[in-house]
A and B are shown apart, each in its own frame.
Chain A
Amino acid sequence: MTGDRSQSGGAPPPDVLVQADRLRFAYGRREALSDVTLAVGRGEMLAIAGPNGSGKSTLLGLLSGVRRPAAGAVRLAGRDLAAYGRREVARLVAVVPQETAVAFPYTVAEIVLMGRAPHLRGLGLEGARDLAVAERAMARTGVLAFADRLLAELSGGERQRVIVARALAQEPTLLLLDEPTTFLDLRHAMEILELIAGLNEREGLTVVAVLHDLTIAASYFRRVAFLRAGCLVAEGPPQSVITEATVRAVFDAEVRVATDSDGVLTVRPLRRERR
């Protein structure tokens, strides 16, 4: 298989921000991850792909410290994640989930300001700096115009941008995204990914995203990791790991992978009767 896990398609990342070491995790008796080792360098942009139930979201949960590994460890900035306090982690790592449901009438501004929660003390109200950070996050995601609207009133794409703004308001070093574009149409999906790629390029934000669409992964990410049945099976730059053979091995799916004129991969399904 292309892209051996110990060699991430060339030089190892110079400055490791997150190091996952032989991670194992199980839901009850069902093993979700077995022996996953993965390093993410500072300023990297990594996509994680794989079939449903292959452990992608679980891996993200372990990287954000929301779940504790059954064995192995995650090191964040050189220190075991288990040694961090919850708030301390939340000041370094932010998560954008697939979808956020709100049960109460929160405004967009209120939701984004919740990103400042790990930076507040005790009964604290937000200070001038908290407001400035939240406002900048909203300006960058283009949601400042709906600051006073209720989150529940927005469209899926707008709502997801608000959630990205909340994540940015945490001032994270590492941004984790769990299929952030699943419920979005193509244009809104592209907007979100452009935004994230821009933050990565301009501000060096480290990004790890679980994605389903391999063409999108190849267009926006410089490195892709494939999970299958809880194991890391391939990892490296899109050109070397997104191949017809890998996709067959990982997804049991027949695809045609083509490289277009500007060097970006496209993955298209191969229809049964035309094989």
Chain B
Amino acid sequence: MAVAHLTPLTPLTRGRLVRVNGALLAVLVVTLVAAAALGPVRIDWRRALDFRAQVNPDAVILLRARIPRILLAAIVGGALATAGAALQALLRNPLADPHLLGVSGGAALAGVCALVFKPAVLGQTVVVPAAAFAGALASTWVVFRLARIGGRLDSYTLLLIGVIYNAFAAGLLMFINTVVDLYQAQGVLFWLMGSLANRDYRVVGALGLYTLAGLGALLLRARDLDCLSLGDDRAAELGVQVERTRLLIFVATSLLVGAVVSVSGMIGFVGLVVPHLVRLAVGADHRLLLPAAYLAGAIFLVWADTLARTVLGATEIPVGVVTALCGAPFFAYLLRRERWKTAA
């Protein structure tokens, strides 16, 4: 049709999807390589990649410590950012974040419970992630139900309920912490702070599969998320099956968050900061926002973790501390800006 190239509309085209995501993918690749080169120990690349050597500490550091950790950071960051973007659209609240809403806390709680029972088979790859997924799903549902009063979902009620739920989950975690033995207590603390260290390829691979499933499910609903962000009734008027779609999005985000929390503990604010910045850069259309947020979240967390493991030399900071130190002031800024907008 001749109208097509005359149109002044700049819609989302396949070309734009490929350009934006391609550029982010290129940045991610550069980030991964740079992060592998950075660390408290300098690696001689030629020696590290020399597979004939019998004893090769460079190869061990690179292949057993750094690379799985960097891949894990990328997957965790991507999953958290995508889950944040989807929850924000569904709850119509740019301040929603899996961590702030208590979804991560619920996942951690269920994950710790599973861990305390010391699952023998497939603990790290199946049992704990499954428990964390169930915990995330239950938490999402509870927070949503508590915050929705008379069919209306108020942004600030939602955030307050999330905070309260988080405090409750943290209290329970502390309780478990005091009744288990010292060795397990160390593990609980790790969940609370969030860390990407000491994971092998099996765990990374399993997490990759879970998060790909979650991301795929969300991508199929990207257009529905646009409609839902206008309101439930507006979405229904545009042909969205609201209840069914909401359930599907709850399940997909819980899968992303649960899987991630089961491996890395609670890493906050990635799901808040990254979608916001990506939206500013590429717009709010979820067909572009969701994949772009995944890639940008991966880039963000790889750098945050690189900072966490290098800035104090051999002493490592939990990556959750780094993201909280960046994210909390950013949240305060966003909250004030949102309030100004409503006040104006």
Cβ distance B272 to chain A, nearest Cβ, rounded Å: 14
Chain B residues, CB < 8 A from A90: 237-239
Q: Are A104 and B94 in contact (CB under 8 A)?
A: yes
**Is A103 an interface residue when CB atoms closer than 8 A count as contact?**
yes
Answer whether residue B283 sits at the interface, using C-beta atoms and an 8 A cutoff.
yes
Contact across chains for A86 and B3 when beta carbons are under 8 A apart? no
**Sample of 5 further A-B pairs with CB below 8 A, known A64-B237, A105-B280, A131-B9:** A66-B233, A95-B234, A105-B279, A114-B238, A117-B223
Is B72 interfacial (CB 8 A cutoff)? no
Q: Nearest Cβ in chain A — how far from B276, in angstroms?
A: 10
For residue A198, CB closer than 8 A to chain B, the reply is no
Q: For the complex, count residues of A whose C-beta is within 8 A of B.
A: 47
Q: CB distance B229 to A110 under 8 Å?
A: no
CB within 8 Å of B: which of A27-75?
61, 64-66
A91 and chain B: residue at smallest CB distance: B239
Contact between chains at A117 and B238 (CB < 8 Å)? yes
Contact B230 A114 (CB under 8 A): yes
A130 CA / B3 CA spacing, docked (Å): 11
Contacts of A144 in B (CB 8 A): 8
B-to-A contact residues, CB < 8 Å? 1, 3-4, 7-14, 17, 88-89, 92-94, 219-220, 222-224, 226-227, 229-231, 233-234, 236-241, 279-280, 283-285, 287
- Asked if A100 and B230 make an inter-chain contact with CB atoms under 8 angstroms apart, the answer reads yes
Whether B8 lies near A135 (C-beta < 8 A) is yes
Bound state CA distance, A102 and B12, in angstroms? 19
Of A64, A114, A135, most B-chain CB atoms within 10 Å: A114
- C-alpha gap A129/B230 in the complex (Å): 24
Please measure, in the bound complex, the distance between the C-alpha atom of A181 and the C-alpha atom of B54, giving whole angstroms.
80
Are B229 and A104 interface neighbours, CB within 8 A?
Answer: yes
Contact residues of A with B, CB < 8 Å?
61, 64-66, 86-91, 93-95, 97, 100-107, 109-110, 113-115, 117-118, 120, 122-126, 128-132, 134-135, 138, 144, 147-148, 170
Q: What residues of B have a CB within 8 angstroms of the CB of A132 in the complex?
A: 1, 3-4, 7
- Check A113 against B9 for contact (C-beta < 8 Å): yes
B238–A118 touching, CB < 8 Å: yes
Within the complex, what minimum Cβ distance (angstroms) separates A128 from chain B?
4
Whether the Cβ atoms of B1 and A128 lie closer than 8 Å is: yes
* Residues of chain A with a CB closer than 8 A to B88's CB: 103-104
Contacts of B236 in A (CB 8 A): 64-66, 86
Task: State in angstroms the CA–CA spacing of A148 and B9 once bound together.
Answer: 8
CB B50 to nearest CB in A, in angstroms, measures: 45
Other-chain contact of A122, B1, B220, B226 (Cβ < 8 Å):
B220
A sample of 23 inter-chain contacts (CB < 8 A) reads A86-B240, A88-B239, A90-B237, A94-B237, A95-B234, A95-B237, A100-B231, A104-B229, A104-B279, A106-B284, A110-B226, A115-B238, A117-B227, A118-B239, A123-B220, A125-B11, A126-B11, A132-B3, A132-B7, A135-B8, A147-B10, A148-B10, A170-B238
A115 vs B226: C-alpha distance when bound (angstroms): 11
A254 to B233, CA, bound (A): 36
Point out the residue from A93, A97, A128 that lies within 8 Å of B3, measured CB to CB: A128
A110 touches B283 (CB 8 A): yes
Q: Contacts A125-B13, A170-B238 known; A120 to B230 CB distance under 8 Å?
A: no
Query: CA–CA, A115 to B227, complex, Å?
Result: 9
Name B96's closest neighbour in chain A (CB-CB): A103
Task: Decide if A125 touches B238 in the complex (CB within 8 Å).
Answer: no
| A103: B residues at CB distance < 8 A | 88, 92-94, 229
Q: Give the chain B neighbours of A61 by CB distance below 8 A.
A: 233
Residues of chain A within 8 A of B9, CB atoms compared:
109, 113, 131, 134-135, 138, 147
Residues of B within 8 A of A113 (CB): 9, 11
Chain A residues near B93 (CB, 8 Å)? 103
Q: How far does the Cβ of B161 sit from chain A's closest Cβ, in whole Å?
A: 18
| Neighbouring A residues of B239 by C-beta, 8 Å | 86-91, 117-118
CA distance A115 to B234 in the complex (A): 10
